[in-house]
Structure 1
Amino acid sequence: MIRQATVVDIPALNQLLQEILQVHHGVRPDIFRPVGQKFSSSELADLMSHPETPIFVYETDGKILGHMFCQIAKATSPVLEPIKTLFIEDLCVAQEARGQKIGKQLYDFAVDLAKKEGCHNLTLDVWDANHGAKSFYERQGLEAQKTRMELRLDT
């Protein structure tokens, strides 16, 4: 049910990315536009061609119900240990399929991939106002590594 994405999956990926945009726009309309496209089709195809930016889909009965964009990288700063990290850029389950443990399966897949790749850790970003996603990740055992703070100047 979880497999590496191919160019045939690009329309479904764009649809799921639009769902993520709607969630983010709902919690932070001051930052996220209500419509837009995060990646062009050629950008998605390019990401798929690099082993350090794998994209996975959750597919059942020929329908893509979830996706996960990953980045695998080593720290390059001279003050950091040269650890390898798997970063989850996006993890999305289609609105119609939420509550079916698809997100957990994708997350568990990422943990297994990180171990297989010899990663030191798995990281991701989650917006504080996205309570559903934050709660999901906390249930998976993630804890805050750092916090990005902001001062809104235009409110």
Structure 2
Amino acid sequence: MHAIRDAQITDAPAIVSLLEALDYPGTDDFIKDRLLQLINHPDERLLVSVENEVVTGVISLHFIPQLALAGDFCRISYLCVSGETRGKGTGKALEEHAVHMARQRGCDRIEVHCHSRRTDAHRFYGRQGYAESPKYLCKSLKIVP
């Protein structure tokens, strides 16, 4: 059974480990600030899956109003499951919970941007009913010294 709940500040070490497994190292210094920001924002939800009091997965959701369509949309920005529980339904449970929340908020779609190198994730999202959409463009705003 996958217990899914809102993330808490005390989940920071587990979330740092999950992000490292997703190729996002070095979040230790700012993760608590990010967690507070997401937890307290009305259009954000940060959820964790817990088994035997251990955080086994995390999903970050953003609810975004659309200008030209009646429904909002939900964006999954991060979904990660621990290696020990991968393949046991944790990711599916988190994604299904996200879909349920998106429907409750009146969203007409849910989307995820997933790098081309994450082929296992592509297969997972395909099994969940996601389809490729038109090109996604990104511009970095990092300041280069």
- Say whether 1:5 aligns with 2:4: no
Residue 82 of structure 1 and its aligned partner are, at CA, apart by: 4.8
- Say whether 1:138 aligns with 2:129: no
Residue type of the alignment partner of 1:142: Y
Q: Distance in 2 between matches of 1:105 and 1:14?
A: 21
Q: Distance in 2 between matches of 1:146 and 1:2?
A: 32
- Identical aligned residues as a percent: 27
- Say whether 1:94 aligns with 2:110: no
Q: Which of 108, 111, 118 is matched with 2:96 structurally?
A: 108
- Say whether 1:54 aligns with 2:45: yes
- Say whether 1:37 aligns with 2:37: no
Q: Distance in 1 between matches of 2:20 and 2:36?
A: 17
Residue type of the alignment partner of 2:80: C
Change (3 A) 1:149 1:86: closer
Residue type of the alignment partner of 2:14: A
Deviations 1:60-106 (A, max 9, x none): 11100001000001024xxx325301110101100111110111111
- Say whether 1:81 aligns with 2:69: yes
Aligned to 1:32: none
Residue type of the alignment partner of 2:108: H
- Stretches (4+) displaced over 4 A: none
Aligned to 2:143: none
Residue type of the alignment partner of 1:21: D
Q: Distance in 1 between matches of 2:102 and 2:134?
A: 20
8 A Cα contact 2:6 2:45, kept in partner = yes
Residue 16 of structure 1 and its aligned partner are, at CA, apart by: 0.7
Aligned length: 135
Q: Distance in 2 between matches of 1:102 and 1:146?
A: 28
Q: Distance in 2 between matches of 1:74 and 1:143?
A: 21
Q: Distance in 2 between matches of 1:68 and 1:149?
A: 22
Determine helix, strand or coil for the equivalent of 2:75. Answer: strand
Give unmatched runs, 5+ long, in structure 1: 23-34, 151-155
Determine helix, strand or coil for the equivalent of 2:58. Answer: strand
Determine helix, strand or coil for the equivalent of 2:44. Answer: coil
RMSD: 1.8
